[in-house]
Chains A and B, each alone.
Chain A
Amino acid sequence: MILALVPIAGTIADTIMTNVFAERRHYQEYKNEMTPDFSDVRAKVEQLEQQTQATQQKMLDYGED
Chain B
Amino acid sequence: MEYVSQKTVTILERRLGLMHLFFFVLIMGYMVGVRLVMEKGYQAVEISHGFVSATLEGNTYSKGNGQAYAVDMPELIGPQLESNALFVPTTVATTRRQVQDNCTDPEQPCNADADCMRQPPLAYGLCEDGRCVQLGWCPRENFDVTQVTVLQNLRDLNVILAADMHFPRLGSERMSTEDGRNARTSWPLASLIKRAGVPYATAVSDGLVLSCVLEWACDLNPGAAPCVPRLRVYPLAVNASFSAQWATYYQVRGGMRAGLAPPLAPPEHSPQTHSRAHLPTARCAMVLRRSSTATCTTRRGCGCSSPRAAPAAASTSTRACCSSS
Contact = CB atoms under 8 A, between A and B. Distances in A.
A30 B12 contact: no
Interface string B1-24: 001011111111111100000000
Contacts of B11: 35, 38
Interface residues of B, number: 13
B7 A30 contact: yes
A13 B8 CA distance: 14
Contact of B12 (A13, A31, A36): A36
Contacts of A17: 3, 5
B5 A14 contact: yes
Contact of A34 (B5, B6, B12, B16): B12
Nearest to B15: A39
B12 A35 contact: yes
A44 B15 CA distance: 16
Interface residues of A, number: 14
A47 B31 CA distance: 44
Contacts of B3: 13, 17
A18 to B, nearest CB: 9
A39 B8 CA distance: 19
Interface in A33-64: 33-39
A10 B5 contact: yes
Nearest to B8: A32
A37 B5 contact: no
Nearest to A39: B14
B12 A37 contact: yes
Contacts of A13: 3, 5
A55 to B, nearest CB: 29
B17 to A, nearest CB: 9
A38 B9 contact: no
B13 A38 contact: yes
A38 B11 CA distance: 8
Contact of A31 (B7, B13, B15, B16): B7
A16 to B, nearest CB: 11
A31 B5 contact: yes
Nearest to B4: A10
A38 B17 CA distance: 11
B113 to A, nearest CB: 77
B5 A32 contact: no
Nearest to A40: B14
B8 A38 contact: no
Interface of B: 3, 5-16
Report, nearest first, the 7 A-B pairs whose CB atoms are least far apart.
Answer: A39-B14, A37-B12, A38-B13, A34-B10, A33-B9, A32-B8, A35-B11
Interface of A: 10, 13-14, 17, 30-39
Given A13-B5, A32-B9, A35-B12, 6 more contacts: A17-B3, A32-B7, A33-B10, A37-B13, A38-B11, A39-B13
30 contacts: A10-B5, A10-B6, A13-B3, A13-B5, A14-B5, A14-B6, A17-B3, A31-B5, A31-B8, A32-B10, A33-B7, A33-B8, A33-B9, A33-B10, A34-B9, A34-B10, A34-B12, A35-B10, A35-B12, A35-B13, A36-B12, A37-B12, A37-B13, A38-B11, A38-B12, A38-B13, A38-B16, A39-B12, A39-B13, A39-B14
